[in-house]
Chains A and B, each alone.
Chain A
Amino acid sequence: MTNNHFDVTIRVWRQNGPDEPGRMVAYKVKDISPDMSFLEMIDVLNEDLIKKNEQPITVESDCREGICGCCGLVVNGEVHGPDEHSTVCQLHMRRFKEGDVITVEPWRVKSFPIIKDLAVDRSALDRIIQAGGYISVNTGAAPDANAIPVDKETAEEAMDSAACIGCGACVAACPNGAAMLFTGAKVSQLALLPQGKPERERRAICMLEAMDKESFGNCSNEYECEAVCPKEVKVSNIARLNREFLLANLLGKTEPNAPAKHLISTPDVPEED
């Protein structure tokens, strides 16, 4: 065990519920090991708070290895923290030093309302996928996997787009709160693969219209999203979304048969029957 432990102060956004006012609260966290992850440092603080019978900070994380897309914090003004192209669960305390004051904030995006403290509701992203982020093939009907060759470059490019973990960092980092990188990544993945080509026009139009229904801003091509994306999804995906949409809209021979409105259920609002 190393003896280079240190103390930091963290200033955290505390907010009891979606409609309640929030504020920054400062906490001293002592005896931090540089080998701790940033979230483990918050764990230490939370353990202290629980013992004092105070409400710990609500912060979401699951896999803690950068793939589930659950975590997402703005640390000292940087989306997912200071490390390049990584999620905040991969951030380690060796990035900080004794006496640092660290500001921790949630994604502050209109389309991701805060639920509590640092937890936000990202179901808007699910609704975009629901509008067309799939290939309409029923189980059991598929031909042999090798029936349709896909050139390696295309498969790799599709995988680059498919790597998106849906964390919402692109939206949180965008000066306008746009979700174009997220939407573009899915549209691109499926437009690139021959399996996704049959419904690419319908998909581009429906997903874009679903995106527009949510409270996202417009892309102004500033590429902050690309700079923060933990999976290095490129803005060429946004160009492809633009292209797919414009061509589908202007050159497509028929209008897409969008899923009827009443069929698009809001995942978070159950209807009792």
Chain B
Amino acid sequence: MKLDAQIPAGPIEKKWDSHKFNVKLVNPNNKRKFDILVVGTGLAGASAAASLGELGYNVKVFCLQDTPRRAHSIAAQGGINAAKNYTNDGDSVWRLFHDTIKGGDYRAREANVYRLAQISNQIIDHCTAIGVPFGREYGGLLSNRSFGGAQVSRTFYTRGQTGQQLLLGAYSSMMRQAAAGTVKVYPRREMVDIIISNGRARGIVARNLVTGALESYAGHAVLLCTGGYANVFYLSTNAAGCNVSAAWTAYKKGAGFANPCFTQIHPTCIPRSGEHQSKLTLMSESLRNDGRIWVPKTKGDKRPPNQIHEEERDYFLERRYPAFGNLVPRDIASRASKSMIDEGRGVGPTGLSVYLDFRDSIKRQGEDKIREKYGNLFDMYKQITDENGYKVPMRIYPASHYTMGGLWVDYNLMTTVPGLFSLGEANFSDHGANRLGASALMQGLADGFFVIPATIGGYLGGSKFEPVSATAAEFKAGELAVKHKLSKLLEIKGKKTPTEFHRQLGNVMWNDCGMGRNEAGLKKALKKIPEIREEFWSNLALPGTTMEMNQTLEKAVKVADFLEFSELLVKDALERKESCGAHFREESVTTEGEAKRNDAAFSHASVWEYTGEGKEPVLNKEPLAFENIKMAERNYK
């Protein structure tokens, strides 16, 4: 596998501009002759479809949901970063670039991140212009809030629903193009295959989720904007529909999969209440500004929290990280909570949570002040747990939240398969080993609104395309393979449901490849996953047929892919014998037990190459050079 990142020459500040000048353009009259297939309608997909449609390309866009407005970008709460420096606190493109690289623990590509920081400002301008009702000050100008990992206030927001408003903005722009005829929307379609013709991605096969029919669509380029794979842990903050299948299909068609082990755990989620739990709900990290995190000092202390006296409580974050206290970064807070629970000091009916206590803040500031700041979060907590967070401490537990890893892409966002692009969370490019808060929305929109419209012309304008129709043999073969796979699933007629297998896989992943990873655990996981997979293919219960709306079948396909992909994730975690960002190898720690990077051996992106069914994947490395930022150790003590 050849990994040419196509990074333009020149100083980092000039790379994007000179690249835009140097890439080939497509004549305005020729753009409508190019069909672009966009898979997924989250921030990246919807914005890409909208802006490519505006340029005049012929866009077809596909989504799983009943309407493109529902993709999981909608659930992002906090905000979107931009280097506007409206607050006059010394922010700049350079600082945002620096913070993102550092936050990613020096495992992201400098040129991409710098471009992201540059584009961040345009995103805010554009989103304001398309009607996103950002929060404002009394003077009528945009308001900012601060977020983790930065010492400046650069986060724009629309209450606690920033993702929703940005997605609806991108969606409405896309629907405008649908009315103009440049975009065709295909909801309730799941991409099940990518068609490669003469070495280039030339189309997809999609399953119509209403009729079950397989539909082929030919085009000149395919854009995968299909999000992350946090659901590999079964329980996560992701939506039920989030999956790895599209990216996994791409991987099997020759696209490199980069850094699958970089998965982020969010510390402040509402803990699960039992086996039935289907998803975890995130509460904004901002709660840690006023809440104190603690567990009882003694193991198995089952008394109600209010009966546990001050001297019997262990405020473990404040104890271990006196400088940052409860405000240490996500990964550190999550791991510390886990270690308390592993010691048997977890609280709540399941023992799988720690307290987040507002008693002292309420005493100091009054309940009204706390309600004013976090009222909606306390309400949400009450709705789910039936507990009053003002009276008894909240219980929280970390949950899988975001995946930094994804399809390897070059500077043009193209994967190792020509014509196959990947945008947003589905690619690996910008967050390194850890993503900072309010950066995911920024990346999705940067990729879709600004990067791909500029770079896709270089691909389309740079070569000749032989005509390919959706009735070509490649498509028929693709459809047949999918049909075969689906009917194989239906023929098993076993006893266990797809969800049961998923939960089983999730347990293995969470326990052996979750917040803390070690060689023994990872090897154990590598043994267990194939066993689960084998049982899946021999004991799966799956009623119904392929030619109808069949949600169990949809779920089974996703689980089948997770069962393959998870093995790659664990392999990658095993291979990366260092701790960096969200990837914590228990063998690679400082004397104080903190994460320790190994830059000499692992300053690279690990790019996995598919070599065939049942064969070992090959590891390729894209070395990461840091020419503009000095690498340093993260320290929050």
Are any A and B Cβ atoms less than 8 Å apart in their complex?
yes
Instruction: Determine if B427 is an interface residue (Cβ-Cβ < 8 Å).
Output: no
Which residues of chain B have C-beta atoms less than 8 A from A272's C-beta? 470
Instruction: Determine if A100 is an interface residue (Cβ-Cβ < 8 Å).
Output: no
Instruction: Determine if B210 is an interface residue (Cβ-Cβ < 8 Å).
Output: yes
Contact assessment for B66 and A123 in the assembled complex, using a CB-CB cutoff below 8 Å? yes
Question: Cα distance A156–B138 when bound, in Å?
Answer: 11
Shortest C-beta distance, A235 to chain B (Å), equals 19
Contact assessment for A62 and B274 in the assembled complex, using a CB-CB cutoff below 8 Å? no
Instruction: Determine if B504 is an interface residue (Cβ-Cβ < 8 Å).
Output: no
Report which of A92, A136, A190 forms a contact with B386, defined as CB distance below 8 A.
A92
Shortest C-beta distance, B54 to chain A (Å), equals 5
Which residues of chain A have C-beta atoms less than 8 A from B551's C-beta? 56, 58
Which residues of chain B have C-beta atoms less than 8 A from A259's C-beta? 179-180
Shortest C-beta distance, B229 to chain A (Å), equals 16
Contact assessment for A195 and B140 in the assembled complex, using a CB-CB cutoff below 8 Å? no
Question: Cα distance A151–B543 when bound, in Å?
Answer: 56
One digit per residue, 1 when the CB lies within 8 angstroms of any chain A CB and 0 when it does not, for chain B 158-189 equals 11010011001001110110111100111110
Q: Given A136-B176, A264-B179, 17 other A-B contacts at CB below 8 A?
A: A50-B498, A56-B551, A63-B239, A65-B281, A126-B68, A135-B130, A139-B54, A140-B122, A140-B126, A140-B450, A144-B125, A148-B128, A165-B74, A166-B69, A267-B185, A271-B184, A272-B470
Shortest C-beta distance, A210 to chain B (Å), equals 9
Give the contacts of A48-94 with B (CB-CB under 8 A). Answer: 49-51, 53-56, 58, 60-65, 67-70, 83, 86, 90, 92, 94
Instruction: Determine if B84 is an interface residue (Cβ-Cβ < 8 Å).
Output: yes
Which residues of chain B have C-beta atoms less than 8 A from A214's C-beta? none
Report which of B273, B278, B497 forms a contact with A51, defined as CB distance below 8 A.
B497
Given contacts A69-B69, A265-B181, contact A92 B125 (CB under 8 A): no
Contact assessment for A193 and B131 in the assembled complex, using a CB-CB cutoff below 8 Å? yes
Give the contacts of A37-51 with B (CB-CB under 8 A). Answer: 37, 39-41, 43-44, 46-47, 49-51
Residue of chain B at shortest CB distance from A119? B549
Question: Cα distance A238–B124 when bound, in Å?
Answer: 29
Contact assessment for A50 and B552 in the assembled complex, using a CB-CB cutoff below 8 Å? yes
Instruction: Determine if A212 is an interface residue (Cβ-Cβ < 8 Å).
Output: no
Report which of B69, B131, B184, B385 forms a contact with A189, defined as CB distance below 8 A.
B131
Contact assessment for A165 and B164 in the assembled complex, using a CB-CB cutoff below 8 Å? yes
Instruction: Determine if A184 is an interface residue (Cβ-Cβ < 8 Å).
Output: no
> Which of B176, B349, B549 has the largest count of A CB atoms less than 10 A from its CB?
B176
Shortest C-beta distance, B228 to chain A (Å), equals 14
Which residues of chain B have C-beta atoms less than 8 A from A138's C-beta? 51, 54
Instruction: Determine if B417 is an interface residue (Cβ-Cβ < 8 Å).
Output: no
Residue of chain A at shortest CB distance from B185? A267
Query: Chain A residues in contact with chain B, CB under 8 A?
Result: 1-2, 16-17, 33-37, 39-41, 43-44, 46-47, 49-51, 53-56, 58, 60-65, 67-70, 83, 86, 90, 92, 94, 115-116, 119, 121-123, 125-126, 129-146, 148-152, 155-156, 158-159, 162-163, 165-166, 189-190, 193, 195-196, 259, 263-265, 267-268, 270-272
Contact assessment for A142 and B128 in the assembled complex, using a CB-CB cutoff below 8 Å? yes
Shortest C-beta distance, A267 to chain B (Å), equals 4
Shortest C-beta distance, B157 to chain A (Å), equals 10
Question: Cα distance A220–B58 when bound, in Å?
Answer: 42
Contact assessment for A151 and B140 in the assembled complex, using a CB-CB cutoff below 8 Å? yes
Which residues of chain B have C-beta atoms less than 8 A from A166's C-beta? 67, 69-70
Instruction: Determine if B133 is an interface residue (Cβ-Cβ < 8 Å).
Output: yes
Which residues of chain B have C-beta atoms less than 8 A from A155's C-beta? 133-136
Question: Cα distance A77–B185 when bound, in Å?
Answer: 34
Contact assessment for A130 and B142 in the assembled complex, using a CB-CB cutoff below 8 Å? no
One digit per residue, 1 when the CB lies within 8 angstroms of any chain A CB and 0 when it does not, for chain B 99-125 equals 000000000000000000000001011
Contact assessment for B276 and A54 in the assembled complex, using a CB-CB cutoff below 8 Å? no
Contact assessment for B215 and A270 in the assembled complex, using a CB-CB cutoff below 8 Å? yes
Contact assessment for A195 and B128 in the assembled complex, using a CB-CB cutoff below 8 Å? yes
- Looking at chain A's contact residues, the main secondary structure is loop
Residue of chain B at shortest CB distance from A141? B129
Contact assessment for A62 and B65 in the assembled complex, using a CB-CB cutoff below 8 Å? yes
Contact assessment for B187 and A63 in the assembled complex, using a CB-CB cutoff below 8 Å? no
Contact assessment for B499 and A115 in the assembled complex, using a CB-CB cutoff below 8 Å? no
Given contacts A149-B139, A190-B131, contact A62 B72 (CB under 8 A): yes
Question: Cα distance A39–B171 when bound, in Å?
Answer: 27
What are 5 sample pairs from A and B whose C-beta atoms fall under 8 A apart?
A: A33-B276, A134-B176, A135-B131, A162-B131, A265-B184
Residue of chain A at shortest CB distance from B176? A134
Residue of chain B at shortest CB distance from A158? B133
Report which of A131, A143, A159, A163 forms a contact with B129, defined as CB distance below 8 A.
A143
Question: Cα distance A69–B552 when bound, in Å?
Answer: 21
Given contacts A40-B276, A67-B161, A162-B158, contact A139 B126 (CB under 8 A): yes
Report which of A35, A83, A134, A159 forms a contact with B274, defined as CB distance below 8 A.
A35
Contact assessment for A70 and B350 in the assembled complex, using a CB-CB cutoff below 8 Å? no
Question: Cα distance A66–B135 when bound, in Å?
Answer: 21
Given contacts A36-B276, A47-B497, A158-B133, contact A145 B66 (CB under 8 A): no
Contact assessment for A129 and B161 in the assembled complex, using a CB-CB cutoff below 8 Å? no
Question: Cα distance A86–B498 when bound, in Å?
Answer: 29
Given contacts A134-B131, A193-B131, contact A58 B383 (CB under 8 A): no
Question: Cα distance A189–B169 when bound, in Å?
Answer: 11
Residue of chain B at shortest CB distance from A162? B133
> Which of B69, B84, B124, B138 has the largest count of A CB atoms less than 10 A from its CB?
B69
Instruction: Determine if B240 is an interface residue (Cβ-Cβ < 8 Å).
Output: yes
Instruction: Determine if B141 is an interface residue (Cβ-Cβ < 8 Å).
Output: yes
Which residues of chain A have C-beta atoms less than 8 A from B176's C-beta? 130, 134, 136
Given contacts A116-B549, A123-B66, A139-B126, contact A64 B131 (CB under 8 A): no
Question: Cα distance A94–B386 when bound, in Å?
Answer: 9
Contact assessment for A60 and B66 in the assembled complex, using a CB-CB cutoff below 8 Å? yes
Shortest C-beta distance, A35 to chain B (Å), equals 4
> Which of A129, A139, A270 has the largest count of B CB atoms less than 10 A from its CB?
A139
Instruction: Determine if B13 is an interface residue (Cβ-Cβ < 8 Å).
Output: no
Residue of chain B at shortest CB distance from A266? B185
Which residues of chain A have C-beta atoms less than 8 A from B277's C-beta? 40
Instruction: Determine if B541 is an interface residue (Cβ-Cβ < 8 Å).
Output: yes
